[in-house]
Amino acid sequence: MSRLESAIRRLQAQKICLDWAATQISAQPGPVLELGLGNGRTYDHLRDRLAGREIFVFERQVAAHPDCVPDDRHLFLGDIRNIISDAADVIGTPAVLAHCDIGNGDKTETATLAAFVGPSLAPLLAHGALVVSGQAMVIPGCSEVPLPEGVPADRYFIYRMA
């Protein structure tokens, strides 16, 4: 499979999973977390699908399209290993959805980061919250959820907080 085909497959899986998750949490109050802003595509998609809901973004360095950058109150800027522990105080309410797009292309580094993020994310999640991730994660209190139709196994992952 070419890199282009792989990227298309990843984006299709991402959209299907995010759309599914948005419908699942539509009746639950609470904010959304976006871990990894990138160029802002999924942040923009979440704003569209979950209009009016607060979305808090964690990003190492902003490089997104200017229309896809959250205001300062909703942006945690820096290495996630240094900023996630203080997030609960700022967010104030447990999140009902978290999207984790934290991969950098290096499998070892990405797995190490995912191993850190999973346990760090758990205290920020409400009961019944969903985590949609491009990486397999172990999140205390969460169990894996079957993927929506059209998403190949191991292409994306969804977890639900008990």
Query: What pLDDT was estimated at residue 56?
Result: 98
pLDDT at 18 over 90: yes
Q: Name the residue range of residue 32's domain.
A: 3-161
Query: What pLDDT was estimated at residue 105?
Result: 81
CA distances from 89 to 11, 83, 94, 110 (A): 32, 11, 10, 27
The pLDDT of 153-162, averaged and rounded, is: 95
Provide the whole-model pTM: 0.96
d(CA 28, CA 129): 9
Domain count, the chain: 1
Quote the distance between the C-alpha of residue 60 and its chain's center: 14
CATH of the domain at 20: 3.40.50.150
Name the token pair of 125.
Answer: 């999640």
φ, ψ at 32 (rounded to 5°): -120, 145
Strand partners for 132: 99, 158
